[in-house]
Amino acid sequence: MKPRIPAVIVALVLLTAGVAATPQKVDPNDSSTIARMALAVFQPLQAKGKVLVIDVREPHAVEAGRIPGALNVPLFEVGKRIEEIKKKADGRRIVAYCTCPGEHTAAEALLILHNRGVKNVSALTGGYIEWVKAGGKVERVTTDTSR
């Protein structure tokens, strides 16, 4: 008799692979409904280039350091740069981060994308602060190269 894999294990595997088991339900007027991605799930996806990482902080904050390879798109620029973001994502999930409580700015940026047809989005839980606390590599850039 073959052993059966419990549903809980299957769900965990799907989540750690970055695959949502159910469609994301987003209220177009409420950024708190944007999906969150735990750091433990994000790290291997980021390391393998399986996600487009967007840093939504202001350029002066990015100069102090960012997650390696992140595209700097401050919140006020998201609406103007949707086509660029979609092209760079090339079908990959988009994960945005910031340094504010509750991933608020990242979720606001992702809500803009979601409302313009980009549905495969998540905010990084804990954002840049948790990345650094966990020992994540930090890339130093100047604002003219943060794109």
Q: What is the pLDDT of residues 6-16, one digit of tens each?
A: 544 434 444 44
Q: Is the dihedral of CA 51, 41, 125, 25 positive or negative?
A: positive
What pLDDT, on a 0 to 100 scale, did the predictor assign at position 141? Answer: 86
Bigger pLDDT: 145 or 61?
61
Assigned superfamily of 22-145: Rhodanese-like domain (3.40.250.10)
Sorted by where each begins, the domain ranges of the chain are 22-145
Instruction: Collapse the DSSP code of 36 into the 3-class scheme (helix H, G, I; strand E, B; otherwise coil) and give the result.
Output: strand
Number of other residues whose CB lies within 10 A of the CB of residue 13: 11
Q: What is the pLDDT of residues 12-39, one digit of tens each?
A: 444 444 444 345 689 999 999 999 999 9
Q: DSSP label at 81?
A: G
> What torsion, rounded to 10 degrees, do the Cα atoms 41, 98, 80, 68 define?
-60
What pLDDT, on a 0 to 100 scale, did the predictor assign at position 17? Answer: 44
Across the chain, what does the average pLDDT equal?
Answer: 86
**Above 50 in pLDDT, residue 78?**
yes
CA distances to 51, 116, 143 from 90, rounded to whole Å, are 9, 16, 24
Instruction: Collapse the DSSP code of 144 into the 3-class scheme (helix H, G, I; strand E, B; otherwise coil) and give the result.
Output: helix
